[in-house]
Structure 1
Amino acid sequence: MIHFKAIWRIMGGLLILIGVLMLPAVTISWIYQENSLPILISATISLFIGLFLFFFIEKQDELIRKREGYLIVTLSWVFMTGFGMLPFILSKEITSFSDALFETVSGLTTTGASILTDIEAMPKGLLFWRSMTQWVGGLGIIVLTVAIFPLLGIGGIELYVAESPGPTSDKVHPRISETAKRLWYVYVGLTLAAAVLYWVGGMTLYDAINHALTTLATGGFSTKNASMAYYDSAFIQYTAIIFMFLAGTNFTMIYFGLMGKFGRVIKNDEFKAYLIGVLVISLVIFFPIYMKSDAGAELAFRKAAFQVVSLMTTTGFVSDDYTQYGQGVTFICFMLLFLGASAGSTAGGIKFIRHATFLKNTWLEFKRIVHPRAIVPLIINGERVTGRIINNIMNFLLIYLITFVIGSLVISLMGYDFETSLGAVATSLGNVGPAIGNVGPVDNFAFFSPAAKVVLSFIMLLGRLELFTILILFTPFFWRAN
């Protein structure tokens, strides 16, 4: 039997938090003398319903089990979406339900795809809430990674947990709260640092805060129609590159680095693969950009590094149109949509740890074929990876591929061309933002039909919640009583 009362109380606490987080956007509206009533009403509704669920539903003492955990994770994003879209609808800046749904899901999942055709015409208070949805989503995924995903056994994330100072399945309290607190400090600290540097670099304080929120969330929402291309500043763009890279790094590794434990960082297999991947791919696309444009070496490298880091970390900021440099660069950028950065970061996508585990296990499989009686263990970060985790990762990769294929088929059957369908589904599933076709770096998603926007919104949620979390709810055995 599922303990729904405990779930509703948690949803109540979540809505209280959402209501409180809307209040800064109300303040921004007051400062810029805009109509703050839509956001204020939205905050009031969230707080009222949240307080009712939290205080008027009888508290239960039963432990939260795996089934409740899956429901809590999924319903959290559903509730955040439902109440997070209220400011857009009540302000009548986004009148269509499918548009408001898409924009809110894109924000909370830190995808960064948008249906807005003129961002700079939007009220500043509403844009601030739009940025805040990404910051909340980025923080939320870190908490899920540390506190909940390991208990549910989702996506081989135990590989991250083994390297973190956080909980394990048999030792949960009090380490969850301590770990979450440490990562909260890192997340907030990096956000503040990014905001200061953006401001020093020439952004207005308002723009600096907005871009800092969406940079550390690896979200990519901007207050400018041209995204980061609006700022023709090497300082601002290099600042973005650095903080996007940090946001795509396992936050526990950042914590270890801040504590002076550099050995832990250097020995981490995923971080090494992530760093080498960024450098190598940046150099690969540097040459065609340098040869096919009149940019000097520094500008060509900056363009290459910016796009690689932005796509690999699933941030989705744009500083240039990478599709103008030929099919080779476009293809590489498309493939980056499937990489993802580090587990334990705010990035979406498949994650480097899964790729590393898959490739290393495949290589060792050749050795096992030649020496069938030999015991050839898979070692990641100095630890032996169990068969259950390997199987989990293989299943994840297979389901990810199947979801991409089915999603692309569905979108193409709705009347969109093959390239656009592939790009839209790949970027939604990976929570990236820009892609290829008619959803390239200088395009948006406004032209999709309401049905297509709903499908893509669902795909964004699937990708952000590691597939299994949502898909398991559609299985009959999940709902059977124990």
Structure 2
Amino acid sequence: MYLLTLKERYKVIFGYIGRLFTYFPIVILLPLLFFFWYPEGQLSYLLPFVYTAIIVLMFGLAFRVTFKVKPGTALTIQEGAIIVVLVWTFGIFFSSLPFYLGDILNFSQSIFESTSGWTTTGLTMVNEDTIPKIYLVWRSILQFMGGAGFAIIMMSAIAGPGGFGLYHAEGRIDNLVPNVRSSVRRILIIYFSYAIAGFLAYLVVGMNSFDAFNHSLTALATGGFSTHSTSIGGFNSIPIEIVTIVLMFLGTTGFAIHYTLWKGNFRAFCKNGEPKLMGLIVIIFTPLLLITTFSLIFTNIGEAFRHALFQGVSALTGTGFNTVDVSWWSSKGFHTGLYLLTILMIFGGDMDSTSGGLKQFRLYALIKLIFSEIKGFFLPRNAVVKTEIWKGEKKQYIRPSLVREILVIFTLYFITFGIGTGIVASYGHSLADASFEFASALSTVGLSVGITGPDAPLGLIWTETAGMFLGRLEFLVIIFGITKIVKDARFAIKKSVKER
């Protein structure tokens, strides 16, 4: 009986995956719309995208026809976890094909580049100054999709009311509104509105339309892919840096907080601790970076402050844009600067945002708990202390389940960070450089000391690829999804063996 139920549920899972990937070719063909930006000699690179779209469409139709699912069929969070893992895995693979079929990168490099795009990391295998422009657009689209978790947002919309389990399996704490489809619609409205505003702002401050389009997508997605190998620093423009900082902050702010502000509920907005904590961290770390590093690089204090602020915000928000080259810092003894940026990358941005890292919500909850414990020490023994915390418009109390989640996520993060740093260091890199580079991958940031590139060893490429994937999906959904698949597969195999 259970085996039959299991088969039916996996039909639903594969049916929904098939439905998504019948729409996905539209996304793959999007770069073709911007052909007017591409030089005539690069138009042949449109073909790999057409071939990829055909492959994905055939895949989606095969699943959709084979595993028919009734629209609106509900999904549990466990089934949602399976779909999240499979959709991200298939999405990364299919998105890598244009790089591979276009002979831009080899297979491992293509998977890395696609993963870096989907996870909004920004570490790259390509030279932005020489790669065909269609691939620069494709990378930006990947980061824009990955920033909002577009694949899962699309799936939630397809699943309708039944997409609740899927929506939450990806790590989103709250719906903006009770209806999942309405939540999806509001997220997309917010996201696209900021992207359009960013594009126009970049045009106003002097960017050309091609650069403005790409950077508005990747800045808002806190992705960090640029159209130039020198990143934002290549423009050497304070107005462009200001626009970028604003977009980075918008991207790293949780969608629930944005929605609260959009509704005009300023009272609830001001009670959210994440923006306050992020502001405090920037205020503390910018002078530290200025004193320990940037004042030694630049003689002009104003210029030193400008670059210290930008690098600090880029690291904290998980964007990965840079205005200075940090690859030589270690050789010149600027280890304190690398250490401070590594800490900022580990902190990360808001929950339910485009950023990675440990997340401000968890850090803020931890700080509130510490002060609550101190306060409780001076209260009567039988006193009940409730610690409240705001997320968007909702007030909640810090419950044991949240404390357990924080403990588990922090533990998994630092275990993975330690292992990954060790692997990177084993390739002959200093501990400072290795910890910086892997923190950048695991927190989906994209800043690099020069370790990551087309000449990187295969083992290092796949280590960072795994780090980006784990960091973006925050460990648990991957563990739950894979565990569920293995458990169900073992049960099915045992049942089949017994029946024989």
> Structure 1: where are the runs of 5+ without partners?
168-174
CA distance, structure 1, for counterparts of residue 94 and residue 270 of structure 2: 42
Whether contact under 8 Å (1:42, 1:87) holds in the other structure is: yes
Whether contact under 8 Å (1:265, 1:271) holds in the other structure is: no
> Structure 2: where are the runs of 5+ without partners?
1-5, 157-162, 493-500
Whether contact under 8 Å (1:472, 1:478) holds in the other structure is: no
CA distance, structure 2, for counterparts of residue 188 and residue 335 of structure 1: 31
Which residue, 129, 133, 136 being the options, matches 1:120?
129
Query: Aligned-pair distance for 1:435?
Result: 4.3
Q: Write the letter of the residue equivalent to 1:312.
A: L
1:345 corresponds to which residue? Answer: 353
1:78 corresponds to which residue? Answer: 89
Whether contact under 8 Å (1:248, 1:341) holds in the other structure is: yes
Whether contact under 8 Å (1:15, 1:79) holds in the other structure is: no
2:418 corresponds to which residue? Answer: 405
Which residue, 356, 366, 379 being the options, matches 1:358?
366
Give CA-to-partner distance per residue, 1:39-66, whole Å, 9 cap, x none: 1111222223223322442225753123
1:40 corresponds to which residue? Answer: 50
Question: Please, which moves more after superposition, 135-144 or 72-81?
Answer: 135-144
Give CA-to-partner distance per residue, 1:74-93, whole Å, 9 cap, x none: 11110111100010011101
Question: Please, which moves more after superposition, 452-461 or 251-260?
Answer: 251-260
Whether contact under 8 Å (2:170, 2:473) holds in the other structure is: no
Q: Write the letter of the residue equivalent to 2:354.
A: T
Whether contact under 8 Å (1:247, 1:347) holds in the other structure is: yes
CA distance, structure 2, for counterparts of residue 64 and residue 208 of structure 1: 39
CA distance, structure 1, for counterparts of residue 399 and residue 203 of structure 2: 47
Mapped pair 1:239 → 2:243: yes
Whether contact under 8 Å (2:52, 2:98) holds in the other structure is: yes
Q: Write the letter of the residue equivalent to 2:68.
A: E
2:402 corresponds to which residue? Answer: 389
SS in 2 for 1:380: strand
CA distance, structure 1, for counterparts of residue 428 and residue 261 of structure 2: 49
CA distance, structure 2, for counterparts of residue 267 and residue 149 of structure 1: 29
Mapped pair 1:374 → 2:378: no
CA distance, structure 1, for counterparts of residue 312 and residue 74 of structure 2: 44
Residues 1:416 and 1:283: Cα distance change in structure 2 (over 3 Å): closer
Q: Write the letter of the residue equivalent to 2:303.
A: L
Which residue, 430, 434, 445 being the options, matches 2:447?
434
CA distance, structure 1, for counterparts of residue 53 and residue 455 of structure 2: 30
Residues 1:305 and 1:63: Cα distance change in structure 2 (over 3 Å): same
Query: Aligned-pair distance for 1:474?
Result: 4.7
Which residue, 139, 150, 153 being the options, matches 2:148?
139
CA distance, structure 2, for counterparts of residue 461 and residue 471 of structure 1: 12
SS in 2 for 1:445: coil
Query: Aligned-pair distance for 1:464?
Result: 0.4
Whether contact under 8 Å (1:5, 1:60) holds in the other structure is: no
Q: Write the letter of the residue equivalent to 1:387.
A: P
Q: Which has more radius of gyration?
A: 2
Whether contact under 8 Å (1:18, 1:84) holds in the other structure is: no
Give CA-to-partner distance per residue, 1:70-115, whole Å, 9 cap, x none: 1101111101111000100111011x21111111101100010011
2:119 corresponds to which residue? Answer: 109
1:262 corresponds to which residue? Answer: 266
Mapped pair 1:479 → 2:487: yes
Whether contact under 8 Å (1:288, 1:325) holds in the other structure is: no
CA distance, structure 2, for counterparts of residue 325 and residue 28 of structure 1: 45
2:454 corresponds to which residue? Answer: 446
CA distance, structure 1, for counterparts of residue 220 and residue 107 of structure 2: 28
1:321 corresponds to which residue? Answer: 325
Whether contact under 8 Å (1:28, 1:124) holds in the other structure is: no
Residues 1:268 and 1:284: Cα distance change in structure 2 (over 3 Å): same
1:424 corresponds to which residue? Answer: 437
Residues 1:224 and 1:5: Cα distance change in structure 2 (over 3 Å): same
CA distance, structure 2, for counterparts of residue 354 and residue 149 of structure 1: 22
2:3 corresponds to which residue? Answer: none
CA distance, structure 2, for counterparts of residue 344 and residue 270 of structure 1: 11
Which residue, 53, 58, 76 being the options, matches 2:68?
58
Paired positions, count: 462
Q: Write the letter of the residue equivalent to 1:308.
A: G
1:144-293 aligned at under 5 Å gives the runs 148=165, 151-152=168-169, 158=173, 161=174, 165-167=176-178, 175-288=179-292, 291-293=295-297
Query: Aligned-pair distance for 1:384?
Result: 1.4
Query: Aligned-pair distance for 1:255?
Result: 2.5
Q: What TM-score, normalized by structure 1, do the two folds share?
A: 0.88
User: What's the C-alpha RMSD, in Å, of the aligned pairs?
Assistant: 2.7
Which residue, 15, 23, 26 being the options, matches 1:20?
26
Query: Aligned-pair distance for 1:281?
Result: 2.0
SS in 2 for 1:115: coil
Q: Write the letter of the residue equivalent to 1:53.
A: F
Q: What TM-score, normalized by structure 2, do the two folds share?
A: 0.85
